[in-house]
Homo-oligomer: A and B are copies of this chain.
Amino acid sequence: MKIEILTIGDEILSGAITDTNFAWLGDQLWSRGYELHWHTSVGDEPDKIEQALRSAVGRSRAVIITGGLGPTIDDITLEAASKTFGVPWILFPEALEMIRAWFVKRGREMAPKNEKQAFFPRGSTIIPNHEGTAPGCYFVFQKTDYFFLPGVPREMKRMVDEWVIPQLEKVDTEKKKYAFRFLRTFGLPESGLAEKLDDMDLKGVDLAYRVSFPEIFLKASALGPDAFDLDRRVQEVADEIHRRLGNVVYGEGRETFPAVVGKMLHARGETVSVAESCTGGRLASLITDIPGSSNYFDRGVVTYSNQSKMELLRVPEKTLKEHGAVSSATAIAMAQGMRRMAKTTYSLAITGIAGPDGGTPDKPVGTVHIALDSEKGTIERKLFFATNREWFKHLVSFAALDLLRKKLLHS
């Protein structure tokens, strides 16, 4: 079933706010087997809204409209819709009651301006809004289903879940099924992944790359009548991707990179501590984004100054003087000092040059040393990432965590 989205609001087109509703709606629709095939954004102008609403007839079976249901003079979506549909714009007492009740529940009185939000095209079905003042409405015009929803994401989302999707299920006579697998990768750029996957026989399965720096997600999906067949096909594609990429695929579904590493540590009853220089706390923050990380993360230090490397990690002054703060020797000394102090199973250490200043011909901006210490000894890697400061910190933190992940995989 073909569906389009119409986003209404000057603030989207002027860039004052980003349209996050569109991406969310798209995910909801595709994952339920609906085809989102058209998207329009227009400002709060009656003639444009009318043009956009009218042009959907014949093109789409259903239209989901967000925005312009507020109480202010700019909010004219439903007035314009009434004109488009050729019906009067009238007060719905049931809607007025909903709005009043919303205010009463919060111990406030409804302002006169909110009365406007109870006006809809005659013949509409009201869509309740449990999260805000603006009810939505549903209207059928020339065999096309129109769903009018507020632009506030929280309100819109709940109304889609509770009202729009169930209604779409009812009107959809050609319902398709949808199946997908979501694979999460780290360690290869898009071109590197493509090189390994390009000659795969996809058997009608769609394979999309979604870059979420520094990770790349792969989504294998298919739409069709037979759920069992779809599921088998996407699973075959996912299996083949696993075979080709090996441990570049670190997980599936919603589990994030630090969550996957954290789960491995937790399952073994092991712990980690971190000593950071150029990543400045980014690695510790990544690890502690995960609920329950206190089970396996003991502590971290951010040693920006040489003094702090000596005091907190017992890095010998000699090492710093002879090899410099950005060196294998310092990274190793940091990791060993950290683990000795924290008494954790593993310790990770990072020292490098995030830039944009501080580079030398010998050690240009982007140079970084990562070390992993455990009772079996210390592993050290020298890496080089030429990118901006924030991305550098993020990427290096991932690389350090990946060193630990591979250690855990192989022991």
Asked if A283 is an interface residue, CB under 8 A from chain B, the answer is yes
Most interface-central of A18, A288, A312, A356 (chain B CB within 10 A): A288
Contact partner, A305, options B13, B285, B294, B301, Cβ 8 Å: B294
**Considering the chains assembled together, what is the distance between the CA atoms of A269 and B386 in angstroms?**
31
Is residue A302 contacting chain B, with contact meaning CB distance below 8 A? yes
Kindly list chain B residues whose C-beta atoms are within 8 Å of the C-beta of A355: 291
Residues in B with CB closer than 8 Å to A282 are 281, 285, 288
Q: Which residues of B contact A267 (CB under 8 A)?
A: none
* B15 and A357 form a contact (CB under 8 A): no
Query: Given the complex, which residues of B lie within 8 Å of A48, measured CB to CB?
Result: 37-38, 59
Q: Is the Cβ of A37 less than 8 Å from the Cβ of B42?
A: yes
Chain B residue nearest to A308 (CB atoms) is B299
**Are A342 and B308 in contact, with the CB atoms below 8 A?**
yes
A206 to B43, CA, bound (A): 14
A341 at the interface (CB under 8 A from B): yes
Q: A14-B30, A51-B59, A294-B304 are in contact. Are A283 and B281 (CB under 8 A)?
A: yes
Flag whether A36 is at the interface (Cβ < 8 A): yes
Q: A38-B48, A210-B16, A301-B299 are in contact. Are A285 and B393 (CB under 8 A)?
A: yes
Map CB proximity to B onto A265-281 as digits: 1 under 8 Å, 0 otherwise: 00000000010100111
Bound Cα distance from A203 to B302, whole angstroms: 50
Q: Residue A26 contacts which of B14, B51, B302, B389 (CB distance < 8 angstroms)?
A: B14
Any B CB within 8 A of the CB of A247: no
- Nearest CB on B from A191, distance (A): 12
Task: Please encode chain A, from 5 to 42, with 1 for each CB lying within 8 Å of some chain B CB and 0 for all others.
Answer: 00000010111111000010011001000001111111
A81: min CB distance to chain B, Å: 18
Contact indicator B27/A23 (Cβ below 8 Å):
no
Asked whether any CB of chain B lies closer than 8 Å to the CB of A224, the reply is no
Among A170-221, those with CB < 8 Å from B are 206, 208-211, 219
Kindly report which residue of chain B lies nearest to residue A291, judged by CB atoms.
Answer: B356
Evaluate contact between A26 and B13: CB separation under 8 angstroms: yes
Known: A16-B208, A210-B16. A285 touches B294 (CB 8 A): no
User: Among residues 348 to 380 in chain A, which have CB atoms less than 8 Å away from a CB atom of chain B?
Assistant: 354-358
Whether A393 contacts B15 by the Cβ 8 Å rule is: no
Give the contacting residue for A280; candidates B59, B289, B311; CB below 8 A. Answer: B289
- The docked-state distance in angstroms from the alpha carbon of A116 to that of B16 is 39
Return the chain B residue nearest A295 by Cβ.
Answer: B304
Q: How far is the CB of A59 from chain B (nearest CB, A)?
A: 7
- A292 contacts B by Cβ under 8 Å: yes
Q: Is the CB of A26 within 8 A of B37?
A: no
Supposing A15-B27, A26-B14, A300-B301 touch, asked if A289 and B210 sit within 8 A by C-beta, the answer is no
Instruction: Report the minimum CB–CB distance from A287 to chain B (whole Å).
Output: 7
Chain B, residue nearest A40 (CB): B40
The complex places the Cα of A208 from the Cα of B121 at a distance, in Å, of 30
**A97 near B: Cβ within 8 Å?**
no
Verify if A53 is at the interface (C-beta below 8 Å from B). no
Chain B residue numbers with a CB within 8 Å of A17 are: 208-211
Residues of B close to A304: CB separation below 8 A: 288, 293-294, 297-300
Whether a CB of chain B sits under 8 angstroms from the CB of A307 is yes
**Nearest B-chain residue to A283, judged by Cβ:** B281
Contact B357 A209 (CB under 8 A): no
- Residues in chain B near residue A11, CB distance under 8 A: 208
CB contacts (< 8 Å) of A301 on chain B: these are: 299-302, 312
A16/B302 contact (C-beta < 8 A), A48-B38, A291-B357, A293-B280 known: no
**Which residue in chain B gives the minimum CB-CB distance to A18?**
B23
9 contacts across the A-B interface (CB closer than 8 A): A13-B36, A14-B26, A39-B41, A40-B40, A288-B302, A288-B304, A289-B393, A299-B305, A301-B302
4 further contact pairs, Cβ within 8 A, besides A11-B208, A15-B27: A38-B41, A291-B355, A299-B302, A299-B304
